[in-house]
Amino acid sequence: MKRDFDLAIVGAGFGGSLMAMIAHQLGLSVVLLEQGRHPRMAIGESTTPLSNLLLERLSTTYDLPRIAPLAKWGSWQRTYPQIACGLKRGFTFFHHEDELLVTASPHDDIADTHWYRADVDHFLVREAQGLGVDYRDRARIETLAFAEEEATLIGRAGEEAFDLHARLLIDATGPRGFLHRSLGLKESPLPGLPPTQSLYSHFTGVTRTETAADAAPYPVDDAAVHHVFEGGWVWVLRFNNGIASAGVAATRRVAEELALSEGEPAWQRLLDRLPQLKSQFKQASACQPFRYMQAVAFRSSTMAGKRWAMLPSAAGFVDPLLSTGFALTLTGIERLAQIIHKHRDSADLAARLQGYAQETDSDLLAASRLIGALYATMADFSSFTAVSLLYFAAVSFAETAHRLGKAELAPGFLLHRHPSFGPASRLLLERAYKPDGAFAADVQRLIEPFNVGGFGDPARHNMYPVRADDLLDAAHKLGASREEIVALLERSGFFAQASVKG
Ligand SMILES: Cc1cc2nc3c(=O)[nH]c(=O)nc-3n(C[C@H](O)[C@H](O)[C@H](O)COP(=O)(O)OP(=O)(O)OC[C@H]3O[C@@H](n4cnc5c(N)ncnc54)[C@H](O)[C@@H]3O)c2cc1C
């Protein structure tokens, strides 16, 4: 068995497998170690336009054409109908009688998806193996040591003992994962974010929403559905195999009131508080054991060293709200791929990895400021909506800028490094903890130069479709001509109406 590698990756979720494939394409020898065995359930399922853009770009840049179809519902259904996923046309929010519907794609063919991770992660690890990545499952690493030039990993994979040496180690094991524990690292706080807990499972028999607004721009269940209440929220994500993922994230106060740690009985108590959800879950039953997380958020005090780095998903996590995890993970994979490509043998590798750690941490903090402000406004839906629009304006502007080849217009996750939007949005997010009467109007004023989706237009009554006209009217905000926007829309399949059945 080979023992010397350029790169060892610990953790074969989608992040580890994708990183392994990319490193292999860059000419590295790669070993990928996984403690479990595929297929297995994993959480973290809902993609976004930004995460799919990143996935598509990684598959093009690193010549992984078999990955590209996963970036859109239509190509996924045509290419890999056997890999379960869900159709995600947008973000649906319910709050008592109020709604907010934000469309993410104009039609199904180019829509986002929810990943049924048991299938997707299994597929990706087989793809990695097919390329030549040395994959070992049931891995237990008993000894980890770093020398000047390499990391040593000693342990067992199933019955097989290993003693591996790698010039670089990437941790893809998720929050509070392998390196955080092995190196005895500390946790850092995520300022502004309340401590939260979570309880979730997969279900069969979840019915669709009965009452949907006539003006809904897409079927409200073909989305990441959020039921928001004071101190928490519930997600419902439907897959095309009859299974739905559902769970709750809640502040400690609400989590303790519901006694989330008790599992299924707590889920029933939660449903009692949310009548619409209760009726949808009347016939439902959990097809996985309930999983309870005592602490959702996490931030490692150290995210990289001289010969190692954590993927963003191992370095930190805020909350599932708004599905920021995949986009952050893929951003980190892209950054690490560039470092590996250009600097793996250079003297400044360690400095580059430190730069990566700083960027990863500042993106995490940007996500945390946003989600902290959303938790602070959960009792007041109009302020919650205003904070959400900061997110939707920033990410749709960033997505358009990237698709126009003008990434420099959108620096940092949620534009947090943008010279005007960054500091001003930070101040507004701080104000969200005590929103005054001018809060929503001030959000509107701030997003206006970045607003490419008609967000906040009172005529839309919290229902935002994707309209070509909005983008065309906003062309000047991106320094683009109308012709460039039309070309962008054509390139991205905006006008194609292929009908796809999942
Ligand atoms: C409740 C919840 C809901 C979420 N929902 C969303 C969402 O809807 N959208 C979104 O974008 N993000 C979401 N996230 C975040 C998302 O889960 C992560 O971004 C994503 O899973 C990262 O993928 P990954 O492959 O890097 O890590 P993971 O999916 O965490 O995979 C880690 C892998 O490492 C393996 N492993 C762990 N320890 C070891 C070890 N010591 N040795 C070897 N192997 C090990 C595990 O078995 C696993 O296979 C959610 C997170 C949570 C907690």
Instruction: Give the ligand 1 atom nearest the CA of 312.
Output: 26
**Helices 381-403 and 49-61, packing angle to 10 deg:** 20
Strand 134-136 relative to strand 90-95, pairing = unpaired
pLDDT at 499: 43
Rounded to the nearest angstrom, the distance between the alpha carbon of 18 and the centre of ligand 1 is: 13
Which residue type sits at 428?
L
Strand 243-251 relative to strand 285-286, pairing = unpaired
pLDDT at 212: 63
Rounded to the nearest angstrom, the distance between the alpha carbon of 41 and the centre of ligand 1 is: 10
pLDDT at 213: 67
Average pLDDT over residues 111-123: 98
Query: Burial code of 123-144, b = ≥16 C-beta within 10 A, e = fewer?
Result: bbbebbbeeebbbbbebebeeb
Q: Which of 22, 35, 140, 171 to mutate to test the pocket of ligand 1 (most atoms within 8 A of CB)?
A: 35
Average pLDDT over residues 366-387: 98
pLDDT at 211: 67
Catalogue the E-assigned strands of 396-491. 463-464
Verify whether ligand 1 is closer than 6 Å to residue 33 (CB atom). yes
Which residues make Cβ contacts (< 8 Å) with residue 344, sequence separation at least 6? 6, 28, 167, 168
Instruction: Give the ligand 1 atom nearest the CA of 175.
Output: 30
Question: In the numeric block, which tokens belong to residue 340?
Answer: 């590996």
Verify whether ligand 1 is closer than 6 Å to residue 196 (CB atom). no
Verify whether ligand 1 is closer than 6 Å to residue 46 (CB atom). yes
Query: Burial code of 316-351, b = ≥16 C-beta within 10 A, e = fewer?
Result: bbbbbbbbbbbbbbbbbbebbbebbbeebeeeebee
493 sits in the region (left: phi over 0; alpha: psi -120 to 50; else beta) called left
**Band (273; pLDDT cuts 50, 70, 90):** very high
The Cα–Cα gap between 266 and 199 comes to 9
- Report the greatest alpha carbon distance in the chain: 67
The Cα–Cα gap between 14 and 117 comes to 8
Verify whether ligand 1 is closer than 6 Å to residue 320 (CB atom). yes
pLDDT at 214: 73
pLDDT at 502: 35
pLDDT at 389: 97
- The mean predicted confidence, pLDDT, of the chain is 96
Rounded to the nearest angstrom, the distance between the alpha carbon of 328 and the centre of ligand 1 is: 12
Average pLDDT over residues 27-47: 98
Estimate to the nearest angstrom the gap between the alpha carbon of 84 and the chain centroid. 18
Q: Looking at the predicted structure, is the pLDDT value of residue 254 above 90?
A: yes
- Tell whether pTM > 0.85: yes
Tens of pLDDT, residues 437-485: 999 999 999 999 999 999 999 999 999 999 999 999 999 999 999 999 9
Residue 293's DSSP bridge partners are 198
Instruction: Give the ligand 1 atom nearest the CA of 48.
Output: 11
Instruction: Give the ligand 1 atom nearest the CA of 296.
Output: 53
Rounded to the nearest angstrom, the distance between the alpha carbon of 313 and the centre of ligand 1 is: 7
Pick the closest to residue 88 from 225, 201, 214 (CA basis).
Answer: 225
Tens of pLDDT, residues 206-238: 999 976 667 899 999 999 999 999 999 999 999
Average pLDDT over residues 125-143: 98
Q: Which of 37, 43, 119 to mutate to test the pocket of ligand 1 (most atoms within 8 A of CB)?
A: 43
Tens of pLDDT, residues 56-78: 999 999 999 999 999 999 999 99
The Cα–Cα gap between 237 and 156 comes to 37
